Amino acid sequence: MRKVEHWRRIIAACAILTAPAGWTQTRVDLRNQGKEIDFTQAPSTKPVKTGIVLPATCATGELFLLTGLNIENLYACAAANSWVAQSYLLPSQAGASGKVLSSNGSGEQWSGMGGDVTGPVTALTVSGLRNRPVSATEPAGGQTLMWNGNSWVPQTITVGQGSLTIESNGTVIGTRSAENFINGLGLITAISDDGAKLTLQQSVDTAVLETKAGEQAGTALYCASASASASAYACALNPALTAYTTGMSLRWKPDIDAAGGAVTLDVDTLGAKALKLADGVTSPEPGDILAGRLYSLWFDGVNFRLGNPDGAVSSGEARPPCGANLRGRIWLLRGAAGLADEVAVCAKDAADSYDWRVLY
């Protein structure tokens, strides 16, 4: 029995020694058995596939690092067989100090500034305008860049440059760099600047000049009294009269019949002036100035004169006494209802007696 047990032990030991190596290894299922696995202490890890060509197929969630040809892009499989780039390697920055990233149509590159500027982006220098060189000479105060045929150079603008020649009816008045517009009497000048051009517009001042509409309305010379006096009249013009001038005229409308004798008119409180008949000497008689009628007056430098000539027909329900002052005056005596009018002239007979001589 002891010999049998001994041989059993020998056979078991030999079986262990001669068994395949794979029988002694344990296979670990990380997906089902692993938990909170940390590879940070491993000398190297390669969880991403690499290659110079993207695989034709992929499963959602896979990653692939594309290498070669100076390209290192990380791609993710966003859907079955669909790779999406996750990063891009910029061109090498070696020797690219002060340059800007640009595209040549097929790829990105570091390029220096060109055209009309030179130098790094932090210290650009304008070296031209529209591909024409700019002088390196530093400009002085008040100078501007001007083209001399070869380059842009700083120069001082003289009076002759940018000036304007003014002519009047074909005759040259002068050439200056500045013009001054002053309103003449009765003119209004409006000047505006829209940033691109100056616009000058002139119009007449209707407060000074008569217009067709004003002449048709008759308001400029119309002066109506409201003084309630039969001998001291007053009226106002619009616009107001500033001074009496010889030869001035107005259209006057009295508000009350004149009593006859000394009569005055004060326009715009400039002072009362005597009102005379057309001869400038004779004072109006009763019936010469009637309320509501329109009279043409003119100023002779001293007095206002009525424009009606001597001998004009006057009318009323009663004639004033005939005398030398009314000599030649024709009077229409208006008859009441059922009675005829009567026309008479103030005249003297051979005995120098004045009276109204009935004509009709």
Dig out the tokens for 59 from the structure: 């499963």
Residue 262's nearest CA partner among 251, 253, 254, 273 is: 273
Which of 40-54, 130-144, 300-314 holds the top average pLDDT? 130-144
Q: In which residue are the tokens 């000539």 written?
A: 309
CA atoms within 13 A on the CB side of 13: 6
Confidence bin at 252 (pLDDT 50/70/90): very high
> Is 310 a residue whose pLDDT tops 50?
no
Worst-scoring range by mean pLDDT, 125-134, 154-163, 248-257, 295-304? Answer: 154-163
Dig out the tokens for 230 from the structure: 């039969």
Angle of CA points 97, 103, 105, to nearest 5°: 155
Residue 191 and residue 199 in contact, taking contact as beta carbons nearer than 8 Å = yes
